[in-house]
Each structure stands twice: as structure tokens, then as C-alpha cells.
Amino acid sequence: MAEMWINMGPQHPMTHGLWNLKVKVDGETVVDAEPEVGYLHRGVEKICEDRTYPQIIPIADRLCYGSSLTWSHLYCMTVEDLMDLKVPPRAEHIRVVAIEMQRIASHLMWLAAYAVDLGMMAGFLYAMRDREIFIDLLQALSGSRITYNYPRIGGVAHDLPPNFQRDALRACDYMDKKLKEYEDLYDGSTVFLMRNQGVGILRREDAMNLGVTGPTMRGSGIAYDLRKDHPYSVYPDMDFEVASHPDCDCYARYRVRMVEMRESARIIRQALAKMPQGKWRTIAPRTAPEGTGIGRVEDPRGEGMMYVVGDGTDKPYRLKIRSPIFVSVSAAPKMLIGYKVADVVAIMGTLDMCIGETDR
């Protein structure tokens, strides 16, 4: 068959969100690929220049529907850096619990979407069902399900609700049990392994050179995690492993995320055990001084970074957002070329695309 370009997107079941992957195929084999993002560009960075500092927190939430809490947390961290604020230890611990729950919820959503990408409907519904437990906990914590608007500059909005520690520990135990079930369902299926092993190889050097971060990079055998290598919040006190896998393929990225969920549950347990009493919020000044602030977090999808420039007023002069997926998706052609059309779905599925933060 002659070579032809196929548009996978903007409306296509493979694209979780609104983006376009142009694929040049020769029969079933991919010979060229060209990702095209920007359909969801909302000008978040520009909008932020016209809002006061606290008003930006909900906007930062809207950056990613999969893990909104990490982005508002990142924003608050950045502004705290700009304002030189000290966050109370209780608030830091609550934040760590919340963002690790968000990480589990985000990875479960990825697992669900990935199962559908491979045509396994059972995995989708199981993962979505278990995500609901963490969503419920976050709802108890913050009052909403997707966009939490929970962190504040200098702390968090509320203290822990009653019985939260008990419920969170139960959820962690449940999660450990369910992870075993997922491993039976996914790793136990030969078809799943056939579809994943040796597919979408991103070599170690390529991953470094292309600036890929997060589980995708750790799946290429580089144990780089900001929580360990550039610790923020109270992560230095936590005892956890950085998941990495040397295989560089889709299966490696899948394994990394599964291990990360287990480690997140561990971190939640430790943070709850070490939770100090005291204030959960300090009052932040309305205006920020002239200067710059920078924040980096390990988003579920990679390294998220924000850079804020204050000009002495109550609005930022400039807010720059570094999206992990925007970088990862540029590495797509490297991973896609040479594989089959069906593998496109698997490979792009393991990147865990979130268009909100990519297009900003």
C-alpha cells in the first residue's frame, strides 16, 4: 500500500484530550509521526498576569484535569518562594498527603485509560472504581472532586476533616490489595505483555537528550525523581523508593507507575503518622516584593516547574509554566517510528497525555 498520512485526532479515541497526532503509515507500519498540540491553548500564563496572587490558585488547578492538586500546590510553592514565606509543618504534611493521593488518583486514571487503549474494558472500570475512593477522600478534604482549590499561599485552606486519617489509612490498605489484583489482571495476561514488551523503546540517551521527565524517563532506566534529587516540602523526611525500570519500553513505563502507586501509599502512611499538631495556614501578604520565585515539583506526569516574577504589586508580572507533557510529546516521533498503527495507541498511552497543562 502507498504511504499515507493519517490524522489521529483532534477527535479520536486515542487522544485523551484535544490534540492531533499525524502519523505517516506504510500499510500498518508507522514511518513518520508529527504531534500537533495547541488546540486547548487558553492563555493561562497571560490570564495570570491580570489576577491577584490568590486568584491564580483556581486557575492553576485548571491546568490538568488528571492531577490538578499538584499544579495549585506548585503555584503556591512558587509564590511562597517569591514572598519568602515559611509554611507551617502541619500544612506541609497535609499537602504531601493530598498530593500523593492525587498521584495515586492520576496514575489510576492513566491505568484506566491505558486499559481502554489496549482494548481491555475490565481494567478501565476497575481502575476508575478505585480512583473514586481517593477522589472521595480528596473531596472530604477540599470539597470538590476534580479541581480542588485546596492549597493556599502559606498553607492549606482547611485542616483535616474528622476521621480523615482513619479513612486514608484504610484507602492505602485497600490500594495495596488492589494493586495485587491489577498485577494479576495486567501482567497475568499474555496478550498484555505481547502488546507492551519491546514496544515504544525510548533509549536512555534519547530520554536525557529530549528532556523527558517523570515516569517516562524512569521507565528508560534513569532513577531521577525531584522528590529525592531536589527535595521540596517534607519529602526529605519520608522513606520511599524511586521506581525505575531498565527496559525502556511501554511495559517499563507501566511498571514504574504501578510501583509509584505503592510508594505513594507508603508516603501517605508516613506523612499521616508524622503529622504534627499546630497551625495549617499562615496569613500571606497581599502584595509580593520585587523579585523572582521558582518552584519545581514531581508531577505524576513529570517535572512541573513554575517561575514567577513579582513587581511589587498584588499581581505577578509574569508567570511561566513548564509542562512535562509538552516536552514528552516532542519525543513521540522517536518512540513511534518503526512500530505498527496499533502500537501508536499503546505508546502514546504510556506518556499519559494531559492536554490542559500541555497547551496551557
Partner 1 sequence: MNLFEFCYGLMHWLVDILNNIWYWLGDFLPWKFGDFFIAIGDLAKAHGTIAVAAILLEVLIIFIIALVSVLNFIWLDRKFMGRIFDFYGPYYVGYRIGGWLQNLADGMKLFVKEVITPSKADKAGFLLAPVVFVASSVLALSTIPLSPDFGVAVNRAGDFVPAGALFAFAAFAIAPFSILVAGWSSNNKYTIIGGMRSAAQMMSYEIPLLLTVASVCLMAGSFSFVDIVAAQSNIWFAIPLALGFIVFLVCIVAEVEIQPFDLPEAEAELVEGWTTEYSGMRFGLFMMTSYLRSYVAGALVTALFLGGWHGFDFIPGPIWFLIKAYIVFIVLTWMRWSLPRIRVDQILQFGWTRLMPLAMLNLLIAAAFKTLGWF
- Between the alpha carbon of residue 255 and those of residues 20, 215, 274, 282, the distances in Å are 27, 9, 29, 40
Choose between 129 and 230: whose C-beta lies nearer to partner 1. Answer: 129
Residue 48 CB, shortest distance to partner 1, in Å, is 36
CA 64, CA 59: separation in Å to the nearest integer? 10
Complex with partner 1: residue 10 or 58, whichever CB lies closer = 10
> What is the rounded distance in angstroms from the CA atom of residue 71 to the CA atom of residue 287?
21
Measured from the CB atom, is 117 or 359 closer to partner 1?
A: 117
Smallest distance from the beta carbon of 344 to partner 1, in angstroms?
A: 7
Q: Which is nearer to partner 1, 101 or 115 (CB)?
A: 115
Query: Whole-number minimum distance, CB 186 to partner 1, in Å?
Result: 9
Contact call for residues 59 and 111 (beta carbons, < 8 A): no
Residue 107 CB partners (closer than 8 Å, separation 6+): 257, 258, 260, 261, 264, 300
**CA separation for the pair 129, 136 (Å, rounded):** 11
Q: How far is the CB of 189 from partner 1 (least distance, A)?
A: 6
Which stretches of the chain bind partner 1, using CB under 8 A? 1, 4, 6, 8, 12-14, 25, 27-28, 115-122, 125-126, 129, 185, 189, 191-192, 194-195, 340-345
Q: What one-character-per-residue DSSP string does 184-196 give?
A: HHHTT-HHHHHHH
Least distance between partner 1 and beta carbon 58 (Å): 33
User: Rounded to the nearest whole angstrom, what is the least distance from the CB of residue 202 to partner 1 in the complex?
Assistant: 19
| Nearer to partner 1 (CB atom), residue 76 or residue 171 | 171
In the complex, minimum distance from the CB of residue 199 to partner 1, in angstroms, rounded to a whole number? 9
For 68, 193, 318, the CA distances from 63, given in Å and listed in that order, are 7, 33, 17
DSSP character at residue 236 = G
User: Taking a C-beta distance cutoff of 8 angstroms, is the pair 35, 358 a contact?
Assistant: no
Give the E-state strand segments of the chain in sequence order. Answer: 3-8, 20-26, 29-36, 151-152, 155-156, 290-299, 302-311, 316-322
- List Cα–Cα distances, 293 to 263, 306, 320, in angstroms: 30, 8, 11
- Rounded CA-CA distance 235/103 in Å is 14
Name which of 193 and 273 has its Cβ closer to partner 1.
Answer: 193
Spatial contact of 220 and 212, defined as CB atoms under 8 Å apart: yes
CB closer to partner 1 out of 304 and 349: 349
Query: Toward partner 1, which CB reaches closer, 125 or 208?
Result: 125
CB of 260 to partner 1, least distance (A): 22
